[in-house]
Amino acid sequence: MTRGFNMYMNTFFRHIHFTPALLILIVAGCDLIKMKEDDPTAGEERKAIARVGDQYLYQDELDGIAYPGITPEDSVERTRVFINNWIRKQLLIQEASTKIEFDEAEIQRKILDYRYSLMGYEYQSYYINENLDTEVPVEEIQAYYDNNIDNFVLKQNIIRSKFIKVPVEAPRLNKVRSLLYSSRERDAEELNSYCLSFATAYELNDSIWMTFDEVVKNSPLAEIPNKVQFLRNNRYIESKDEQFKYYLKIEEYRISDNISPLEFVREDIRNIIINKRKVELAQQLEENIYETAKKNNGFEIFN
């Protein structure tokens, strides 16, 4: 039974992805498997809140559940959830202890392994936060885009456009089109003021690339059957339903399966570069620690 359980656990731990939060939960959960019996005298001094079998949850173990500033209602709810989760964990552990013969030494080894991994992760995160350069020059973004351009194929149709959605009873609807086409700053300010007053949705910055579906959602334009053909044949569209009128002026479009413009993926590339820097810093930290320890005889391998 023990051998089979260990094989199962080994398979489980090889395939699961551990985040810091998950590690904390696993360490806490595994520690409960010890299922030590509480000191009977301690039970007389401490106020028991809940019991599962011979395991007790005490009042002092709820410290920190309700933090300063929390409402009494939220405090009660957080405490209720904590107690209920504790009971469920204890019931699961008790059930497991009757079905499986645990290898205590192996469990303790795993707990230590998780603990050390978490400590290493915390220091690694601290080191990265202290040393990470988050400034990404435009030249570096451009270079990454050029060198990896095949990775930036569009999965959706995108447009640069102005879009306005206004109630059909809004005033001066006949003037919206002329304001949309005007290049005068005064008219742009008037259009912005109009949208602030009457539009229920609008986007006037036509320098920003957005997905076509996102722009026209909740409008009759979202139901267009052939959107590629629509984009190729239209630059200005007015549409309406019973409640609203819709204006769409398209400055430029790109069809899915084509290369994305740099502006549309600029932020994605910036995040990619920063994540690569994080990985390099983590590797640098590990290598520096290793080389320093090696130089100072900080470790030894015995044959």
pLDDT tens track for 227-259: 999 999 999 999 999 999 999 999 999 999 999
- pLDDT(30) > 60: no
Backbone angles phi, psi at 200, to 5 degrees: -95, -15
pLDDT computed for residue 26 by the predictor: 42
pLDDT of 174-189, one tens digit each? Answer: 999 999 999 999 999 9
Mean pLDDT value across residues 39-46: 56
> pLDDT at position 44, please?
55
Q: What pLDDT was estimated at residue 68?
A: 83
Q: Is the pLDDT of residue 263 over 70?
A: yes
As separate numbers, helices (DSSP H) first and strands (DSSP E) second, the chain gives: 11, 7
Percent of the chain at pLDDT exceeding 90: 75
**pLDDT of res. 101:** 86
Phi then psi dihedrals of residue 182, to 5 deg: -70, 145
Distance CA 13, CA 107 (A): 12
Rounded Cα distance between 280 and 288, Å, is 12
Which CATH class name applies to 149-254?
A: alpha beta
Q: Report domain extents, the chain.
A: 2-131, 149-254
Q: DSSP per residue over 136-180, as a string?
A: --HHHHHHHHHHTGGG-B-SS-EEEEEEEEEETT-TTHHHHHHHH
Confidence check: pLDDT of 83 > 50: yes
Torsion of CA 264, 270, 272, 273, to 10 degrees: 140
pLDDT of 270 higher than 70: yes
Give residue-wise pLDDT tens across range 195-213: 999 999 999 999 999 999 9
Residue-level pLDDT at 25: 40
